[in-house]
Amino acid sequence: MKTRCLFVLLCLAMAGFPLLAQSDPPASREDVVKLFDVMNIRDQMRTVMESVAKQQRAMIHEGLKKRSPEITEEDLARMDQFTSDIMKDMPVDGMIDDMVPVYQKHLSRSDVEAMSTFYSSPTGQKLLREMPAMTAESMQAAAPRIQAMMDKVMSKAEDMAKQNRKKKTEQPKTGDQ
């Protein structure tokens, strides 16, 4: 009798779980857009993209100068202008539109409300103000490690290309036999 009663209670509890889950609906598009506004996400994205571009530009310059010492400052300036033009044309609003369903998938309405409350607070606003600088400084701190990895990857790619060229020259040509 005790077992049967325990089983019935367990079944009732399990049947109620979906109802509990439904009490916290997913975030709506409007909820997420409001969160993005509180977070100043457009400005954050632009600042981070500029920081990333600046960091990448420095690493690319260093790598190109190592691999192609004959490259001129004019060549580098043209490349910089090209990448700047690409960054200016980056569709930030479109990217934000792409992000909304991702946030909706992973966050409930109450999650978004709690995040909005936090980011509206003085501490949340400070985090938002400081995040671009923290990101830039973190990237700068990690740059030597990333550059070393890029150098290894480039060296490995060059070695593989040399091996492939060597294999092609060693293969007998068809019709020579």
Q: What is the pLDDT of residues 107-147, one digit of tens each?
A: 999 999 999 999 999 999 999 999 888 887 888 899 889 88
Q: What is the pLDDT of residues 31-70, one digit of tens each?
A: 999 999 999 999 888 887 887 788 778 878 888 888 888 8
Q: What is the pLDDT of residue 12?
A: 56
Distance from C-alpha of 50 to C-alpha of 1, rounded to nearest angstrom = 69
Q: What is the pLDDT of residues 166-177, one digit of tens each?
A: 888 887 766 555
CB of 128 closer than 8 Å to CB of 40? yes
Which has more pLDDT, 93 or 19?
93
Give the count of beta carbons closer than 10 Å to the beta carbon of residue 145: 9
Ranked by mean pLDDT, the top range of 57-71, 79-93, 100-114, 140-154 is: 100-114
Distance from C-alpha of 130 to C-alpha of 107, rounded to nearest angstrom = 24
Model pTM score: 0.60
**pLDDT averaged over every residue in the chain:** 83
* Polymer length of the chain: 177
Distance from C-alpha of 2 to C-alpha of 82, rounded to nearest angstrom = 76
